[in-house]
Amino acid sequence: MIFKQEFLDKLKSAKRLVFFTGAGISAESGIATFRGKDGIWNKMKPEELANFNAFMQNPDLVWEWYQHRREIVHKTEPNPGHFAIAGLEKYYDVTVVTQNIDNLHRRAGSKKIYELHGNIERNFCVECKQYYDLSDLDKTEGVPHCKKCGGLIRPDVVWFGEFLPQEELNGGETSAKQSDICFVAGTSAVVYPAAYIPMNAKRAGSYIVEINIEPTDLTNYADYSIFGKSGEIIPLILKEAEKLKSS
Ligand code: BV8
Ligand code: ZN
For 164-223, the pLDDT digits (tens) are: 999 999 999 999 999 999 999 999 999 999 999 999 999 999 999 999 999 999 999 999
Same CATH topology for 5-31+78-117+164-246 and 33-75+120-157: the answer is no
Verify whether residue 117 is a known catalytic residue. yes
Q: What is the rounded distance in angstroms from the CA atom of residue 182 to the CA atom of residue 16? A: 9
Catalytic one of 68, 74, 117, 145: 117
* Atom of ligand 1 minimally distant from the CA of 24: 65
CA distances from 184 to 40, 41, 210 (A): 21, 21, 5
Q: Kindly calculate the radius of gyration of the chain based on its CA atoms and give it in whole angstroms.
A: 19
CA of 151 to the centre of ligand 2 (A): 5
- State in Å, rounded, how far the first CA of the chain is from the last one: 20
Residue 23 in contact with ligand 1 by CB distance below 6 A: yes
pLDDT of residue 36: 66
Domain 33-75+120-157 maps to which CATH number in 3.30.1600.10, 2.30.130.10, 3.40.50.300, 1.10.1740.10?
3.30.1600.10
pLDDT of residue 146: 95
CA distances from 191 to 28, 62, 67, 160, 163 (A): 21, 21, 23, 9, 12
Residue 46: asked if its preceding bond is cis (omega within 30°), the reply is no
Residue 50 in contact with ligand 1 by CB distance below 6 A: yes
Nearest CA to ligand 1 atom 44: 50
Testing ligand 1's pocket by substitution, the residue of 192, 209, 225 carrying the most ligand atoms inside 8 A of its CB is 192
Residue 160 in contact with ligand 1 by CB distance below 6 A: yes
pTM over 0.85: yes
Residue 97 in contact with ligand 1 by CB distance below 6 A: no
Q: Which ligand is nearest to the CA of 20?
A: 1
Residue 69 in contact with ligand 1 by CB distance below 6 A: no
Exposure class string for 129-138: b at 16+ Cβ within 10 A, else e:
eeebeeeebe
CA of 153 to the centre of ligand 2 (A): 8
Q: Are 102 and 34 in contact (CB under 8 A)?
A: no
pLDDT along the chain (247 residues), means of 10: 95 98 97 73 69 93 90 95 98 98 98 97 96 84 93 96 97 98 97 97 98 96 97 98 91
Q: What are the backbone dihedrals phi and psi of residue 237, each rounded to the nearest 5 degrees, phi first?
A: -65, -40
pLDDT of residue 43: 64
CA of 192 to the centre of ligand 1 (A): 6
pLDDT of residue 202: 98
Residue 28 in contact with ligand 1 by CB distance below 6 A: yes
The domain locations on the chain are: 5-31+78-117+164-246, 33-75+120-157
The fold for domain 5-31+78-117+164-246 equals Rossmann fold (3.40.50)
